[in-house]
Amino acid sequence: MVTDPSTAFIHLDDVTKSYRLGESTIQAADHLTLSIDEGSATAIVGRSGSGKSTLLHLIGGIDRPDSGTITVDGQNLGALTRNKLADYRSSIGFVFQQFHLLPALSALDNVLVPLVARRVDFDRHDAARQLLEAVGLHGREHAMPSQLSGGQQQRVAIARAMIHRPTLLIADEPTGNLDTTTATGVLDLLFQLQQDHGTTLVIATHDTTVAAQADDVIHIDSGHIDEQKNADARTP
Ligand SMILES: Nc1ncnc2c1ncn2[C@@H]1O[C@H](COP(=O)(O)OP(=O)(O)OP(=O)(O)O)[C@@H](O)[C@H]1O
């Protein structure tokens, strides 16, 4: 668990983000201060509308805060130019509730999408095949998304999120569209990949069982932190 913000991989200091909705203002991030360790798995839990996605969007550089600072891997996101922020965003692996696979591309080609126009020092096809095998889809490389179940499509999406070897993986309700058994398999896979690759995982979920697998759990309500605690459930 993080004790020193100066050594944290992700640090938010007094971050706010509000949205105007007609006459009213919604405080989606309400003076958030938190730290996340490199290589850890952090669950963001809270009821619908509590601000989980907002927090992930701020960490992922998809949204900019109204005030406060966000530092990731030593970079102050607020100080980055538009191009540098785009580079930062593309360095992250994102997994969403909707799988967002390209329907005209095979599983293998979907996994390769993040590497289009990117120079890499590894064999991209080998890497994609290995990842599809790691997510349990060996033999389904050439299947089209429409030929895969929801759980299998999410596995492809996870492989796609990992293909560029991100140091940070952000997952927003990744099991929201899956039945309980399939969801458990997908979560186990995310945590396994996180451990195997030393990736920092930040996962937002309604699913309280996720908390038991995470290193840290941040409870949010109405945009502010109710509690940040070490789940202390993982065997060393
Ligand atoms: N673009 C937007 N414009 C206006 N209000 C927004 C916008 N995005 C989010 N909100 C509001 O901000 C609050 C937090 O939303 P957010 O999506 O972060 O919650 P959440 O915890 O991820 O919810 P869910 O679990 O339902 O996805 C909500 O009240 C939501 O309606």
Q: Determine the distance separating the centroid of ligand 1 and the alpha carbon of 55, expressed in angstroms.
A: 10
Q: Determine the distance separating the centroid of ligand 1 and the alpha carbon of 67, expressed in angstroms.
A: 18
- Determine the residue of 15, 19, 64, 226 to mutate for testing ligand 1's pocket, defined as the one with the most ligand atoms within 8 A of the Cβ atom: 19
Tokens 């360790």 — which residue?
37
Report the pLDDT value the prediction gives residue 185, as an integer from 0 to 100.
85
Minimal-distance CA residue to ligand 1 atom 3: 19
- What number does the ligand 1 atom closest to the CA of 51 have? 18
- Give residue-wise pLDDT tens across range 50-89: 999 999 999 999 999 999 999 999 999 999 999 999 999 9
Position 97, amino acid: Q
Q: Does the Cβ of 19 fall within 6 Å of ligand 1?
A: yes
pLDDT above 60 for 190 = yes
Closest CA to 163 of 189, 137, 134, 192: 134
Mapped onto helix, strand or coil, the DSSP state of residue 20 is strand
Q: How do 200-205 and 41-45 pair as beta strands?
A: parallel
Phi, psi of 67 (to 5 degrees): -155, 165
CB atoms within 10 A of CB 188: 11
Looking at the chain, the whole-number percentage of residues with pLDDT higher than 90 is 73
Task: Tell me the longest C-alpha to C-alpha distance in the chain.
Answer: 54
- What number does the ligand 1 atom closest to the CA of 223 have? 14
CB 56 within 8 A of CB 172: yes
Position 20, amino acid: R
The predicted model scores a pTM of: 0.91
Concatenating the DSSP letter of every residue in 159-224 gives HHHHTT--SEEEEESTTTTS-HHHHHHHHHHHHHHHHHHT-EEEEEES-HHHHHHSSEEEEEETTE
Q: Determine the distance separating the centroid of ligand 1 and the alpha carbon of 87, expressed in angstroms.
A: 25
Q: Does the Cβ of 48 fall within 6 Å of ligand 1?
A: yes
Report the pLDDT value the prediction gives residue 3, as an integer from 0 to 100.
55
Minimal-distance CA residue to ligand 1 atom 25: 48
Report the pLDDT value the prediction gives residue 233, as an integer from 0 to 100.
43
Report the pLDDT value the prediction gives residue 131, as an integer from 0 to 100.
92
Choose the weakest-confidence range: 17-21, 23-27, 33-37, 180-184: 180-184
Report the pLDDT value the prediction gives residue 179, as an integer from 0 to 100.
85
Q: Determine the distance separating the centroid of ligand 1 and the alpha carbon of 79, expressed in angstroms.
A: 25
The DSSP 8-state label assigned to residue 73 in this structure reads: T
- Taking residues 105-117, what's their average pLDDT? 96
Minimal-distance CA residue to ligand 1 atom 1: 19
Minimal-distance CA residue to ligand 1 atom 6: 19
Q: Determine the distance separating the centroid of ligand 1 and the alpha carbon of 174, expressed in angstroms.
A: 17
Minimal-distance CA residue to ligand 1 atom 27: 48
**For the chain, which domains are there?**
36-56+79-234 (3.40.50.300)
Q: Does the Cβ of 178 fall within 6 Å of ligand 1?
A: no
Q: What is the ipTM of this complex?
A: 0.96
Choose the weakest-confidence range: 113-117, 159-163, 224-228: 224-228
CB atoms within 10 A of CB 46: 21
Instruction: Name the average pLDDT for the chain.
Output: 91
pLDDT above 60 for 4 = yes
Report the pLDDT value the prediction gives residue 182, as an integer from 0 to 100.
83
Looking at the chain, the whole-number percentage of residues with pLDDT higher than 70 is 95
Report the pLDDT value the prediction gives residue 236, as an integer from 0 to 100.
41
Q: Does the Cβ of 42 fall within 6 Å of ligand 1?
A: no
**With bands split at pLDDT 50, 70 and 90, how would you rate the model's confidence at 232?**
low
pLDDT above 70 for 140 = yes
Concatenating the DSSP letter of every residue in 88-139 gives HHHHSEEE-SS----TTS-HHHHHHGGGTT---SS-HHHHHHHHHHHTT-TT
- Give residue-wise pLDDT tens across range 88-97: 999 999 999 8
Cα 98 to Cα 83, 142, 147, distances in angstroms: 27, 21, 16
Choose the weakest-confidence range: 137-141, 203-207, 225-229: 225-229
